[in-house]
Structure 1
């Protein structure tokens, strides 16, 4: 089985916002959700996730509340704010443009030969 792909710089926030948009989740649950939704191709380290959650909360893109996890442990659960929903929408649009542009550039053939 191939090893998980490395994420591109600047894409962690997008992945976290998308994972949270699927429903409130605690930190470890966000890691699992990203792994699941990527088919196991993306594995995020806890050491990268928690600074990203702090950064997103400081920017007002996510909100946290204390609650109980599935195993009855106290955990912070994260949800998107309206600003976070807007940011996610804008980043998804930009990502789609990037993917389209990369696909076109990589499919280009030498002409005139």
Structure 2
């Protein structure tokens, strides 16, 4: 992944993780694997775990410790009502920003054609 993609992803990763958790509860490694399976191959597990700690501290997720066949119990994260509100705000912001970027791109193309 290029540096520009990495920087953009940093700003949106929380919303992406909340969107994953809106579909179903998951633990950190599952989230990382899901992201990697969908082309986000450069995301480090540590990045996802640090983000999960932050969203837990902000009260956006509920956490349940589930016994693991190997090692200590796993922390399974589920999106709660406050997290759903945050996700709705993320999607609204994403929609607005994406629209403005598309508008800028089309304005630039029209300007280039007229030059």
What is the TM-score of this pair, normalised by structure 1? 0.82
42 and 102 in structure 1: CA distance in 2 versus 1, 3 angstrom threshold? farther
| Alignment correspondent of 2:15 | 14
Quick check: which one's helix share is greater?
Answer: 2
Match of 1:94 in 2: 93
* Equivalent pairs, count: 107
Question: Gaps spanning 5+ residues in structure 1: where?
Answer: none
**Contiguous gaps of at least 5 residues in structure 2:** none
1:6-36 deviation line (CA, Å, top 9, x unaligned): 2513211111111111101010001112233
Helix, strand or coil at the partner of 2:93:
helix
1:60 matched to 2:59? The reply is yes
CA offsets 1:21-55 (integer angstroms, 9 cap, x no match): 1101010001112233xx31454211211111011
Q: 1:42 to 1:99 in 2, by over 3 A?
A: farther
1:11-90 alignment runs, 5 A limit: 11-36=12-37, 39-41=38-40, 43-68=42-67, 72-73=69-70, 74-90=73-89
Describe the superposition over 1:33-82 as per-residue Cα deviations: whole angstroms up to 9, x where unpaired: 2233xx3145421121111101100000011111145xx33311000110
CA RMSD after TM alignment: 2.0
TM-score by length of 2: 0.80
**In 2, Cα distance between the equivalents of 1:34 and 1:82?**
23
Within 2, Cα distance between the matches of 1:60 and 1:25?
16
Contact 1:20 1:80 in 2 (8 A): yes
